[in-house]
Amino acid sequence: MAEVYAGTSGWAYPSWKPGFYPAKLASAKFLQHYASRLSTVEVNYTFRHFPTEKTLRNWLAITPASFKFSIKAHQNITHVKRLKDAAEYTRGFLGALQPLVEEKRIGMVLFQLPPFLKADTILLEEFLQQLPKSARFSFEFRHESWFSDQVFEILRKCNAALCVAESEKLESPDVATANFCYYRMRKPEYSAAELEQIAQKVRRHLDAGTDAFVYFKHEETPAGALYAEQLLASIREGKRASG
């Protein structure tokens, strides 16, 4: 059965007190509390650092077995090498994630490409062919030249998701390219009507047997975390009503 996973891009924000975290909650308890209310988190720390096995084991120990970690790929892969001649470094990075893989706790690995990188279908196809078939990968393109049927078909062949991302400068087309989907909702505020539109999209994916990962932007306020919680509640309520 398809599942929805909703959360934010990070969790270590004292400014979320007391709207999301209890006022007296120690920072060391943030992730445990976060995971008691949300079902996934997007880890941006890994954009600049390889996570240690100890760190990953600690995360696993304090979160439920159903909780998923989506990992942003290291900048050396996406911004320095720009996917070119990156096979060895990518293997090393993915190897560092093995504790999450072994416990089936990894949601997705997100390759967020820089805005200045224009479409190169040969480069994309070669890079995709080097990735393990057993894992889930998503690509966030930030130059509009990537939004083409040719690129979408390359992603489909390798069962990689087009990351549907909102931003002030560019909005990705909502095109399904895998049997899972990845949304990055980057607006600081969403109305009740907008949240319901997102929920409707998620329900369509679930009905099609597609797992949906939805991440709201972290801000100085806990709004993103609360939006994710509202989305999960809406989906669960819909399931109860239809069941």
198-223 pLDDT, tens per residue? 999 999 999 999 999 999 998 789 99
Tell me 195's DSSP state: H
- Provide the pLDDT for residue 171: 82
96-133: pLDDT as tens digits: 999 999 999 999 999 999 999 999 999 999 999 999 99
Tell how strand 161-165 and strand 180-185 pair up. parallel
What architecture (CATH level 2) is domain 4-242?
Answer: Alpha-Beta Barrel (3.20)
* pLDDT bucket at 241, cuts 50 / 70 / 90: low
Residue 159 tokens, joined: 């069962």
* Domains of the chain, residue spans: 4-242
69-91: pLDDT as tens digits: 999 999 999 999 999 999 999 99
* pLDDT bucket at 237, cuts 50 / 70 / 90: confident
Helix 121-129 × helix 149-157 angle, to 10°: 10
What is the C-alpha separation between 112 and 64, in angstroms, rounded? 27
* Average pLDDT value over all residues in the chain: 95
3-state SS class at 157: helix
**Its pTM surpasses 0.75:** yes
Q: Is the pLDDT of residue 42 over 70?
A: yes
Contact 73, 46 (CB under 8 A): yes
Q: Is the pLDDT of residue 243 over 90?
A: no
What is the C-alpha separation between 70 and 12, in angstroms, rounded? 16
What is the C-alpha separation between 43 and 75, in angstroms, rounded? 13
157-194: pLDDT as tens digits: 999 999 999 877 788 999 999 999 999 999 889 999 99
